[in-house]
Structure 1
């Protein structure tokens, strides 16, 4: 509701600026309008491609979120949108090792009971290389090892745990 009100104020500000002969208000109104459009775009498309230069991850959780978004961007046909069902047909946990530059050093199934889901998760990670660089999170050897969980909603589509919301109740 606030966005609608603010958006509707932009034309009013432009008209007022024109009537008062003030060009700086027009610039401010345009800036406010473009800011609102950027926020609305993020709400409508939360997994849209991010700018080329991302800030360094603040910690491991932040990095895992960046990686999860990256994997979703590179595998949109495998992404499940919406709330996960209460009974998941498969859960796959991968152990992922990346170097300081984001190159995939190793990826292995840490836990799974479904070979097809494991293959889909491994292929999705491999298609997503290079990953965002972990920078300072990489240890002295220049590598970072972490796990990511693929929550399968059906036989082919998943959500990554780092991005997933709550499941639907029984």
Structure 2
């Protein structure tokens, strides 16, 4: 008799466990369940690159991520709408110090997009301290624009299509 009681209690506990609701169902109708918050991605505070070319690649990827709606990832078209070359300087903390157009085909919309994408991406990942000279790191990057106005940065661009 004692074994039947224990068996009955065991089965009751087992059934009670099966009757519990899944975690993704609300406990009561109309009562909101706890929202699981996914931590927002944080901007990188420093680059892990050891070389200037490695840092340029990190920086180009950062600018592209920050301007995802204005970039493309396929090969640049054979005849580009615009090629904009920008010389800029950042400090050891990843702050933009200056920027200037070095080459342009005078496509004002492309110029504006290139400069805005650069400025809007700050702060940048911090470069390795030995890359910074006299408080600044000077860089040159090229924006490659397709006819639709989207761009790729030459540092991370795929080879251009042929005619």
Question: After TM superposition, is the score higher than 0.5?
Answer: yes
For residues 43-100 of structure 1, the C-alpha deviation after alignment (integer angstroms, 9 at most, x for no partner) is xxxxxx7884655322111111011011011101111121111100100000010001
Please identify which structure carries the higher helix content. Answer: 1
Which structure carries more relative contact order (alpha carbon 8 Å, separation 6+)? 2
In the TM superposition, what are the counterparts of 1:1-170 in structure 2 within 5 Å? Answer: 52=44, 55-113=47-105, 114-135=107-128, 136-139=130-133, 141-170=134-163
Q: Give yes or no for contact 2:46–2:127 (8 Å, CA) kept in 1.
A: no
Structure 2, unaligned stretches of length 5 or more? 1-40
User: How many residue pairs are counted as aligned between the two chains?
Assistant: 121
Post-superposition offset of 1:107: 1.0
Structure 1's 50 and 164: CA in aligned 2 closer, same or farther, altered over 3 A? Answer: farther
Post-superposition offset of 1:154: 2.1
Give the Cα separation in 1 of the matches to 2:69 and 2:88.
Answer: 22
For residues 98-151 of structure 1, the C-alpha deviation after alignment (integer angstroms, 9 at most, x for no partner) is 001110000111110122111100000011001111132000x11000100000
State TM-score, norm by structure 1: 0.66
Structure 1's 116 and 54: CA in aligned 2 closer, same or farther, altered over 3 A? Answer: same
Structure 1's 162 and 124: CA in aligned 2 closer, same or farther, altered over 3 A? Answer: same
Structure 1, unaligned stretches of length 5 or more? 1-48
Task: Please report the RMSD computed on the Cα atoms of aligned residues, expressed in angstroms.
Answer: 1.7
3-state DSSP class of the match of 2:156?
Answer: coil
Give the Cα separation in 2 of the matches to 1:106 and 1:53.
Answer: 20
Q: Give yes or no for contact 1:117–1:155 (8 Å, CA) kept in 2.
A: no
Q: Which runs of 4+ in 1 moved over 3 A?
A: 49-56
Q: Which moved more, 1:106-115 or 1:89-98?
A: 106-115
